[in-house]
Amino acid sequence: MHDILTLISGRAHPELAREVADYLGITLGKIDLWDFPDGEIGCKLEQNIRGRDVFLFQPTGPPVNDNLMELLIMIDACKRASAERITTVIPYFGYARQDRKDAGRVPITAKLAANMIVTAGADRVLTMDLHAAQIQGFFDLPVDHLYAAPILDQYFRSLNLPPDKLAIVSPDEGSIKRALHHQRHLGGSLTIVDKRRSSATRTQQANLIGEPLQGKIALLFDDMISTAGSICGAADVAHKHGADEIYISAAHAVFCGSAVSRLCEAPVKEVVVTNSLPIAKAQDLPNLHTVTVAPLLGEAIKRIHRAESVSYLFD
């Protein structure tokens, strides 16, 4: 396997790429990436990849435009170097929230980003916890969509929380399906926070739907924590309704804007995320716990390379 599989990382998250390479028992491919004085990105492959099965590792998180452009340039470099197949490994897919026209005269930028990846020369996409699962259809090529939920559930099971006090909380109506998945695997009751969005950056949470939270241990799950407004608002509601302990969890720690200050002020015992995106020292909260997705991504890469099924990793 290792004779023809090549894993190459961009500059977005080389630490996670090295973890994946360690899981596979290989070393990262050699590539030189740099910035020209005018901001253009330079790229040169430092090894032969002709006829190889190449996996390009690059989450397109902040700075989104730089990381997306770097991914496109790496795809083009591999295509022109005669790679046999190019799979883009994108643990976090930027622009995923711009997946529809929710107002007049606005773009569907998630589709545009998908088009660029396809046009650049990718043959396959491996990603994780898309903001909306239907984004898979934006790519005119095979997409393997993984979920971090089993890894997050495994961590919460290790805490040995009392099942009779457990409450799975959906921070809004759009996350009910995710909350139901966690409830099936962790048990506990189900509660939904009624969220009303007043603008792109402001939301208001007030009411609860479902089981009461008085005396419960509330677990709040979302796909990402961006500015943390929604998840912290939901945590405040859970606290006001009598939850004894509150944990919030998400697959992607985007942590932009006022996220860190909001999380520090929220009535939360622990913030549990994956390492799909790098977390800067300034974002490293005292109650932050990170679980790794390297084995999940590594196993998927191995199975894609061997033309084996990866469907059991989806759940």
Provide long-range contacts, Cβ within 8 A and 24+ apart, for 183-187.
185/149, 185/150, 185/153, 186/153, 186/156, 186/157, 186/219, 187/163
Q: Is 306 annotated as a binding residue?
A: no
The answer to whether 38 is a known ligand-binding residue is yes
Q: Which of 177, 195, 240, 269 is catalytic?
A: 195
Q: Binding site annotation covers 257?
A: no
11 is in an annotated binding site: no
Q: Is 66 marked as binding a ligand?
A: no
Query: Is there a binding annotation on residue 97?
Result: yes
**Distance from C-alpha of 11 to C-alpha of 168, rounded to nearest angstrom:** 36
Active-site annotation holds for 195: yes
Ligand-binding site membership of 284 (annotated): no
State yes or no: 40 annotated in a binding site: yes
Tokens of 3: 């004779």
Q: Rounded to an integer, what distance in angstroms lies between the CA atom of residue 31 and that of residue 27? A: 12
Measured in residues, the chain has a length of 315
* Residue 35 annotated as part of some ligand binding site: no
**Buried residues in 9-34 as b, exposed as e (16+ CB within 10 A):** bbebbeebbbbbbebbebebbebebe
| Residues tagged in the binding site annotation for D-ribose 5-phosphate | 197, 222
| Residues tagged in the binding site annotation for ATP | 38-40, 97-98
Residues marked active site are found at 195
| Residues tagged in the binding site annotation | 38-40, 97-98, 131, 172, 197, 222
| Residues tagged in the binding site annotation for Mg(2+) | 131, 172
